[in-house]
Structure 1
Amino acid sequence: MKYLVFVLVTLISTAAFADPPEVKIPWKGDYPHNSNKRWSKDTPYDSGFSKNFKNGTPEEFDEVQKEGELNAFIYSPQDSKGPMPFVILLHGCDGLGTLSKEWAAHVASVLNPQGVGVLVLDSFTTRFVDRSCGPADLHWGRRRADDAYSALDYLVEKKLAKTNEVYLMGYSNGGTATLVSMTTQEADHSHRFAAAFAIAPGCSPSLQHSAIYTGPIIIFMGNHDDANNPKWCEELVRKKRSVPVQMMEYQGVNHGFPVNAPARDFMGWHLSYSEAAEKDMMQTIIAAIKIRKFGKGVELR
């Protein structure tokens, strides 16, 4: 009987997170840091800072579109009322597929009981993009920063989130976009993120090492990550900065550590789940949101 009750409670809980409300978020890109220059194979990354919703990349089938909107899913704490802390969650380079949705639901199931809402942002569906993995990753890390700020504006304008308590959290290419979002280049937005959590991001020297950040950042990464180089992230974190930037480096863990899925290879990268690392990461994020204190440097775990 106890087992049956446990199963029923589990099924009810899972169902509660299965179909979160879907919303449409107007995309905003008309900022001084952006330009009207469309994508070019000669400058494949500079056009990431664009005033166009679709900017003619191969992933967009060369289409250019000035305006657009993004799909998003909102997980709110049960019986929630009024503005609350929120996390905006960014998917990886392969889009918001089944695994990403399951991971997002898990993140929400951990954060919602702590009184934290979660907005899961879909950067690809309305652009008809399948994936951005590989060299295109750097371009999309920049493009998606304005996606994140569009979602931030939406939460504030709808009075769903507390203005100074919205956090950005992204995995893989979403992690790269998270780092870009925290740079001074993006400081011409009307609202700011309280802090950011970048999971297994690309810390490419061409994008990040000279970056000046506007708020606290925690990077979570495995030392066996063969998709994004952890050494580059170590170098990024150790650079002297005016705001706290910290890296939690999990030993024996690869790029797939936060996603509870069978071990697999994807584009030559090894992906496998680490329950211990994923649990530690979520506990660290919750503590950072609750206490709002951030450290510096690389911490091996």
Structure 2
Amino acid sequence: MRILFAAFVFLFSTVALAETKPTEVRIKWKGDYPHNSDRHWSKDNPYDSGFSKNFKNGAPEEFGEVQKDGELNGFIYSPGDAKGSVPFVILLHGCDGLSTLTNEWTQHVADVLNSQGVGVLVLDSFTTRYVDRTCGLADLHWGRRRADDAYSALDYLIDQKLTKADDIYIMGYSNGGTTALVSVTTQEADHPRAFAAAFAVAPGCSPSLQHSAMYTRPIIIFMGDQDDANSPKWCHELAKQKRSVPVRMIEYQGANHGFPVNAPAHESMGWHLSYNPGAEKDMMQTVMSAIRTKKFVTGVEVRLAPE
């Protein structure tokens, strides 16, 4: 039964990917907001320098380069039978950028959401900055840097009249999940427009995001209890804190950091990564339900990934 299911998933994904034709766009980056500063990255200021008014801010991953303005690559997947405005999800890659596996994941997410009438903008934070990867200690810095990337994409969608201002969601995996959390904190509240909600997949729920951050929009965190790249305990703490908005954590038993990405089991940087199709399918159904109903709840929920 599992073999047949896996074969079906592979066949469906292959057909869907072959039919998907995104529109590539260039998005002007905006970072001139009060929460940002002109300070460049330094060893003494490794994290707060993520709040920057510069497109490139001198981080090691940028080879120390500083650049005031810039553009980002975006890939828009629109529902084939869409009529008028549709909800949109801005989808963010992890710390390795739009690698082959990550690109396949983003296309799969776009296929699933498009089938439900939801548009997707896949945002590439790295290519135009000539950044290869940001894995490891740089996670929070880049989560902060990329929040303004996400808001630049949000403004693009609204300005192009592709969706309504109150119907845009942010979803990210790993470092992209961390970015999703940062994007809905009060530190980012000086943006004139806001996301409807955030979906954070296997994020880094660092202590600063647990205890000091105040959130402005509903959040759903999806995580495996075997994640050894980002600590599930930290996300437990984040979800258990009393908030003014709903924050929900869904934890999949037996799943690890790689649960949403359809790839053979492997290790990277000492992290265990393996696909869990039941958890991934349940996650996407939960995301679609939240977008459709606009209903969000609070709490930590442990789920056994369905077969």
What TM-score, normalized to structure 2?
0.93
1:185 aligned to 2:187? yes
Q: Distance in 2 between matches of 1:178 and 1:161?
A: 19
- Aligned counterpart for 1:51 among listed residues 53, 56, 59: 53
Q: Deviations over 1:128-149 (max 9, x none)?
A: 0000001111100100000000
CA contact (8 A) 2:210 2:237 kept: no
State the secondary structure of the residue aligned to 1:162: coil
- Per-residue CA distance 1:57-87 (angstroms, 9 max, x = gap): 0100100000000001000000323221000
Structure 1 residue ranges (4+ consecutive) displaced by more than 3 angstroms after TM superposition? 7-13
Find the counterpart in structure 2 of residue 266 from structure 1.
Answer: 268
Task: Quote the residue 1:280 is aligned against.
Answer: 282
Q: Does 1:70 align with 2:72?
A: yes
Deviations 1:210-259 (A, max 9, x none): 11101100000001000000000000100000100000000011000000
Q: How does 1:73-222 map to 2 (within 5 A)?
A: 73-222=75-224
Change (3 A) 1:21 1:240: same
Aligned to 1:38: 40
Local SS of the residue matching 1:236: helix
1:16 correspondence with 2:10: no
Give the aligned length: 294
Take 2:14 and 2:270, find their aligned partners in 1: how far apart are those partners?
A: 35
Judge conservation of contact 1:70–1:121 (CA < 8 Å) in 2. Answer: yes
Q: How does 1:235-250 map to 2 (within 5 A)?
A: 235-250=237-252
SS of match in other structure, 2:237: helix
Q: Which runs of 5+ in 2 are unaligned?
A: 1-9
Rounded to whole Å, the distance in 2 between the matches of 1:54 and 1:37 is 11
* Separation of aligned partners in 2, 1:130 and 1:184: 30
CA positional deviation for 1:208: 3.5
In the aligned structure 2, how far is the partner of 1:9 from the partner of 1:43? Answer: 47
8 Å Cα contact 1:82-1:159 kept in structure 2: no
Aligned to 1:4: none
Q: Which runs of 5+ in 1 are unaligned?
A: 1-6
Structure 2 counterpart of 1:13, one-letter code: A
Confirm or deny: 8 A CA contact 1:50 1:143 kept in the other structure.
Answer: yes
1:26 equivalent in alignment to 2:28: yes
TM-score, normalised with respect to structure 1: 0.95
Cα distance between partner residues in 2 of 1:85 and 1:93: 26
Q: Which letter does structure 1 place at the counterpart of 2:18?
A: A
